[in-house]
Amino acid sequence: MSLDRKKLALIHIVKKELGLSEEEYRRVLKDHAGVETAKDLDEASFRILMNFFVRSSYYQVNRFGLTMKQKLYIKYLERDLGWGQGHLDNFIRKYYHKQAVDNLTRTEARKLIESLKAVSRK
């Protein structure tokens, strides 16, 4: 059984966020998930791949404490809500008085995630 479109999209967002070349990306897929292409991932190999990404040296905490895992989850929620980057940035400016996700503290990111989940449930 293949992954749904949202999970495939998340993988490609991660690839872009990390700035992975196509060669690096394919190597990670092969080495950590045992597949040639993301379309071949099942639920178990998807989890293995995402665990690798969030634990790898690629992910750094910004100087405000924001983790890459939080940032990626916020991006996932943004896409799930059908929001564009401008909509999310406006939401962050209005409620958190920051310019963008990258300026949030770890605590603010946690609160934003809960806010976006609440909006999603409506």
- pLDDT reported for residue 60: 60
Reading phi first (left if > 0) and then psi (alpha if -120 to 50, else beta), residue 34 is in: left
| Model confidence at 15: pLDDT above 70 | yes
* Structure confidence by residue, pLDDT tens digits, 34-45: 999 999 999 999
What DSSP line would sit under 99-116, residue for residue? SSGGG-BHHHHHHHHHHH
Any idea where the domains of the chain sit in the sequence? 5-55, 68-121
Half-sphere exposure at residue 21, Cβ-oriented, CA atoms within 13 angstroms: 3
- Residue (of 101, 79, 111) closest to 13 by Cα position: 79
- pTM metric for this prediction: 0.55
84 CB-contact burial (10 Å; exposed 0-12 / middle 13-18 / buried 19+): exposed
* Structure confidence by residue, pLDDT tens digits, 70-119: 888 999 999 999 998 799 999 999 999 999 999 999 899 999 999 999 99
| Model confidence at 59: pLDDT above 90 | no
